[in-house]
Structure 1
Amino acid sequence: MNKVVRCFLGAMLGLSAVAQAQSGKEIMYVGTYSLRGSEGIYVFEFDRKAGTMQQLQAVSNAKSPSFLALHPSGNYLYSVNEGADKLGGVSSYSVDKATGKLQFMNGQSSLGGGPCHISVDQTGKTAFVSNYGGGSLAVLPIGADGKLKVATDSVQDAGTGPNTQRQDKAHVHSATLAPDNRFVYVADLTTDKLNIFETDVKASTVKPASTPYATVKPGSGPRHFTFHPNGKYAYLVEELSSSVAVFSRNPKTGELTLIQDGIKTLPADFTDSNTSADIHIDPSGKFLYQSNRGYNGLAIFTIGSDGKLTKVGDQPTEGKTPRNFLIDPKGEFVFVAHQDSDNITIFKRDQKTGKLTYTGQSVKVPAPVCVIMANR
């Protein structure tokens, strides 16, 4: 191949990459419950310029592939199978990088019933699965081919709480890795604790940290957890009390110190029943959002330089039972998955004020639970 041809081909490849970037089309994945005709996992293409989602694929899985996680390489996707048998289940899929479409690879037991959350460490070698029904954490190695291996470690939690209907036994709800990848924080809705573990992602094992847990008010119900981009602060959904807790974090030991607790997320005049669900911080680290099921909206907070929260508003989400939601990596759009109205609604986000504006775009998806966007 002569030099002129090489230069021409290089220029064409460069133009192709530029065109793809300028098209504003990105890949999104939606996990669902196996209800009302849901096929399983849905793949969408998001057109950023138009602000619209178009379905590309529906991947068959009849066991409620509710929560999803992407491998850091972007080459693989993982789902919990919440409707699996008492031993639970988790599945791996390969990602076609050209189209975003999925192909099932393999499945493994999660060692507990009702797996509801999965996370993957930053090296892509270990997955952490939270079993809500089984009250346990399972640690699964990930092979070089992206497939899940048999679990190499697990932790069984135990206890009860003051809410006799919801805190009758351990309910592990999420496992969130710290930004340094050295610790994983495991929320148990029943014990009102965040259990803290040191991770060995090469061996796919965990052990209790020197300070093994942090506690919140009895009956709060820890659910999902997220870190501020600066790694100094962390935020916990308190599902049962519809509130949020704020912690500072010691990066050396992983220890959490509670600096705000029981911050209400509902409007003052709202008196009906409600449970909080998901929590996210915008890329700038200036705003925090938390979803409320019952009120059917997102609470909006500003984040101070000290990590503390100040509520600035509420945004109705144009659907029923908003579970998971996504702030896109550029901070321009918010996508809200509504479990009981079978839709995902799209909001434009004001990056200066944090406020949201409904775009009028609502995408039909049966029982959507989780929505994530592929790495670009």
Structure 2
Amino acid sequence: MNKLVASLFIVSLGMNAPATAQSGKEIMYVGTYSVRGSEGIYVFEFDRKAGTMQKLQSVSNAKSPSFLAVHPSGNYLYSVNEAAETGPGKAGAVSSYAVDKATGKLNFLNTQSSLGSGPCHISIDQTGKTAFVSNYGGGSLAVLPIKADGTLGAATDSVQNSGTGPNTQRQEKAHVHSAIVAPDNRFVYVSDLGTDKLYIFETDVKAGTVKPAQKPYVTVKPGSGPRHFTFHPNGKHAYLVEELTSSVAVFSRDAKTGTLTLLDDGVKTLPTDFIGQNTSADIHIDPSGKFLYQSNRGRNALAIFAIGIDGKLTKVGDQLTEGKTPRNFLIDPRGEFVFVANQDTDDITIFRRDAKTGKLTYTGQSVKVPAPVCVIMANR
């Protein structure tokens, strides 16, 4: 796998490069909401042969460490603390942890303000020097430097969004939901659920700053609610979860300017006969770039699409997640397993994946985790 493809695949998982050590252990980290007895961040070891997860550690954090990211070196992990509520603006926070190289277990390092309420997503640039934090409640993006020892410095830049959308209950103001770093590390793409825009910023990781790109944003259908975003391994296409309309938007991408061109907006992810309430959540592409998966809360399933040469999508199926309210999910780096975080049934369910068809089969294996939100993997 060449460097470009490797970087693209890592971004598509919503995580940073896994570190590989001689032990060959596959370590998984799970972020949670601080409800129903959750202890904070959970650490598991994945047994690939058996297809099971064994708990190694729980790390105390009572402030809803919901979304996680691993440092490119594999030596550090970062979590947003969604319920921190510190300072006059009741801002959230971000915490750093050292990763034990032998075991994968975590040790707390430090915490910094996210400069906005309700931080819900964090990503790390590919040099490991900068963290991008999305504040859903505050409608803002914060840029935090990462020091040589893995600790977080105070924010060096921030962007405050403004605006509304037609959904008066969910789009009464800006709601920044994710910030995804481009494969070339030159741009960061910021999804705003409240304004129906996907903002594009040029990054300066040395200075820890961002500025609007040549084309600073792309607009999707009113009321769709941008949430999560991912790149195709070929670098030519990208995909956006539209949470409020349970759909996905398809883009082509100019690598030189970072500009996105909308190819297909509002690709439906729900079966035509589905009746009920639903919101879409997470999105990932398998390592081969042949299939795209998107989670649906309400339908409680993953929608499965085949990806054409032109980047467009064809629905090939749905897989019930064997749990309620699937938020984030993980396709393992080999493309053999899919792990689904079911928030309201307090479990992670494990599926085998057919590389030829993209279809999933429930293994019968699951682990109990209170209110799981995010699941990521790092090879040790």
| Superposition TM-score, scaled by structure 1 size | 0.94
Does the residue aligned with 2:344 lie in a helix, a strand or coil? coil
Larger Rg: 1
Partner of 1:263: 267
C-alpha separation in 1, matches of 2:311 and 2:204: 29
Q: Distance in 1 between matches of 2:106 and 2:235?
A: 32
Give how far 1:156 is off: 0.1
SS of residue in 1 equivalent to 2:91: coil
Q: Residue in 1 aligned with 2:244?
A: 240
Structure-to-structure mapping, 1:90-105, within 5 angstroms: 90-105=94-109
Q: Secondary structure at the match of 2:45?
A: strand
Query: Which residue matches 2:162?
Result: 158
Aligned counterpart, 1:53: 53
Alignment match, 1:367: 371
Aligned residue for 1:340, secondary structure, equals helix
**Does 1:326 pair with 2:322?**
no
Deviation at 1:88, TM superposition (A): 1.1
| Structure 1 stretches of at least 4 aligned residues deviating more than 6 Å after TM superposition | none
**2:71 matched to which residue of 1?**
71
Q: Is 1:343 the equivalent of 2:343?
A: no
Partner of 1:299: 303
In the alignment, which residue of structure 2 is the partner of 1:112?
A: 116
Residue type matched to 2:274 in 1? F
Structure 1 distance, partners of 2:111, 2:364, is 38
Q: Which residue of 1 aligns with 2:5?
A: none
Alignment equivalent of 1:171, drawn from 165, 168, 175: 175
What are the residue-to-residue correspondences of 1:34-45 with 2, within 5 Å?
Answer: 34-45=34-45
Unaligned runs of 5+ in 2: 1-20
Kindly provide the amino acid, as one letter, of the partner of residue 271 in structure 1. I
User: Which residue number corresponds to residue 253 of structure 1?
Assistant: 257
Equivalent AA in structure 2 for residue 76 of structure 1: Y
Deviation at 1:271, TM superposition (A): 1.4
- Quick one: which of 201, 208, 229 aligns to 2:205? 201
Alignment partners' CA distance in 2, 1:97 and 1:222: 37
Deviation at 1:375, TM superposition (A): 3.8
**1:158 & 1:375 partners in 2: Cα distance?**
40
Give me the whole-angstrom Cα distance separating, in 2, the residues matched to 1:268 and 1:182: 40
AA paired with 1:340?
D
> In angstroms, what is the RMSD of aligned CA positions?
0.8
Secondary structure in 1 aligned to 2:319?
strand
Aligned positions of 1:9-24 closer than 5 A: 20-21=23-24
> Is 1:123 the counterpart of 2:127 in the alignment?
yes
Match of 1:6 in 2: none
| Aligned mates of 1:26, 1:272 — CA distance in 2 | 38
1:358 maps to a residue whose letter is Y
State how 1:181-196 maps to structure 2 within 5 Å: 181-196=185-200
- Secondary structure (helix, strand or coil) at the match of 1:84 reads strand
State the identity %: 84
2:283 corresponding residue in structure 1: 279
Distance between the aligned counterparts of 1:202 and 1:251, measured in 2? 21
Cα displacement (A) at 1:231 = 1.0
Q: TM-score, normalised by structure 2?
A: 0.93
Residue matched to 1:89: 93
Name the CA distance, whole Å, in 1 between partners of 2:104 and 2:70.
12
Q: 1:230 Cα deviation (Å)?
A: 1.2
Secondary structure of the structure 1 residue equivalent to 2:170: coil
1:357 alignment counterpart: 361
Once the 2 structures are TM-superposed, how far is the Cα of residue 362 of structure 1 from its aligned partner?
1.2
Return the alpha-carbon distance in structure 2 between the equivalents of residues 247 and 66 of structure 1: 28
The equivalent residue for 2:12 is none
Other structure's SS at 1:89 match:
strand
Q: How far did residue 325 of structure 1 move?
A: 0.1
Structure 1 residues not aligned, in runs of 5+: 1-16
CA shift digits 1:301-326 (9 cap, x unpaired): 00011111101000000000000000
Letter in 2 for 1:275: T
SS in 2 for 1:190: coil
